Amino acid sequence: MKFIENGNVTSPGGFTAAGAVGGVKPSNTTKRDIMMIASDTVCTAAGVFTKNLVKSSAVVLTKKNLENGTAQAVIANSGNANTCNADGMEKAGRMCELAADALGIDKSDVIVASTGVIGQVLPIEPFERTVPQLAGIMSKEGGTDAAEAIMTTDTVKKEAAVEIELDGKKVTIGVIAKGSGMIHINMGTMLSFVTTDAAISAEMLHSALTEAVDVSYNMVSIDGDTSTNDTLVILANGKAGNEEITTRGADYRTFTDALTALCRVMAKKLAADGEGATKLMICKVSGAKTTGDAKTAAKSVICSSLVKAMIFGEDANAGRILCALGYSGCDIDVDLIDVSFSSDGGSISVCEKGSMLAFDEELAKKVLCEKEITILVELNEGSGEAEAYGCDLTYDYVKINGDYRT
């Protein structure tokens, strides 16, 4: 497996994309905010979505469109979530119709997604103006414009791609994603679209996606808020020419491992770009009784507001980590826990067998001043392990969200 330099959703064969300024927000005249991705043939497809009971109409319609396990295109917008609106389903349906008409495909094969402010009516006029234009500029170079068009408070575009070999054929998997705030993924606002030219059945595609998401996107938390719009969809058009994956054999494992690696890269990109964030925070838990316990413990640490504030302040206060582990709900012997911090600035142990250690504060500051901090938790009770991804909690997070709507 190798990562492709400047790879994205148009790296796999048969996919094109575009993004354009549509003016979904009346004040927007410069930022791309509507995008489309399309395959030149119908794809097998699968998706995972928010578990929030309040869902965007786009999520509801996309789940319906994916019931037959096929799709051929994606249309998405930023600037408006199309959530909690009386005409939300009508607008989501119209977006699908516009994309289908412009691309010459069936509207039931269109994935629709929206992100932005909740509870504001989605204007349809920007789509009626822009979608035909998008169809005219779809290209292999348009993937990065599509990535830009789904950004809201994101500060950087998030895109990647990998190459693997299946059945002697080169197979490519590409991805774009957005997400900066309202992220406590449980399948923030998190949108991600994955494309591949692998030949794989819808059933195996859904299985692979579920496996990958469980240890990547679902291990991310920025602020503890599960969005109403979380959508992760994968389309596979079979252009690579490998023998179709229909069982959980060796090729399935190779494909799933590559998809997982790709999703983990994107999970870290999402966490690092959390609203107001200055540091990526990774918690690696080992020695748990079960993998489930390790995942719960790791997520409890990166979800803790006190731990997040501690990382921002570069204060090696391991008591906050022990506290988060203690209320995680896992069956943990607190007298066995070891904790250390690691970064490009070095590493330092701060807790052994549940008791705080005397440590060099100057070294601790050096470790915690880096952009990526790893919290290492050893539970010393078994072989379960997991890692979770988050970011520090800063003053800017409150500034961004205090007046997000206005």
Count how many Cα atoms sit within 13 Å of the Cα of residue 267 in the half-sphere of its side chain.
25
CA distance 205 to 197: 12
Catalytic one of 189, 195, 196, 256: 189
Contacts 24+ apart (CB under 8 A), 134-139: 134/18, 134/19, 134/20, 134/34, 134/35, 134/36, 134/102, 135/18, 135/36, 135/99, 135/102, 135/103, 137/18, 137/20, 138/16, 138/17, 138/18, 138/36, 138/38, 139/10, 139/16, 139/17, 139/18
Q: Which amino acid is at 223?
A: D
CA distance 21 to 308: 36
- φ, ψ (nearest 5 deg) of residue 273: -105, 25
Name the 3-class secondary structure at 188: coil
CB burial class (10 A; 0-12, 13-18, 19+) of residue 46? buried
Contacts of 349 (CB under 8 A, 6+ apart): 338, 339, 340, 357, 359
Task: Name the DSSP class of 89.
Answer: H
Please give the torsion angle defined by the CA atoms of residues 16, 21, 25 and 30, in that order, rounded to the nearest 10 degrees. Answer: 140
Task: Name the DSSP class of 243.
Answer: P
Task: Name the DSSP class of 302.
Answer: H
CA distance 93 to 112: 8
Helix (H) or strand (E) run with residue 174 in it:
strand 169-178
Look up 83 and say whether it is catalytic.
no
CA distance 78 to 54: 18
11-32 as b/e, with b when 16 or more CB fall inside 10 Å?
bbbbbbbbbbbbbbbeeeeebb
The token duo for 93 is 């349906």
- φ, ψ (nearest 5 deg) of residue 76: -145, 155
Active-site positions read: 189
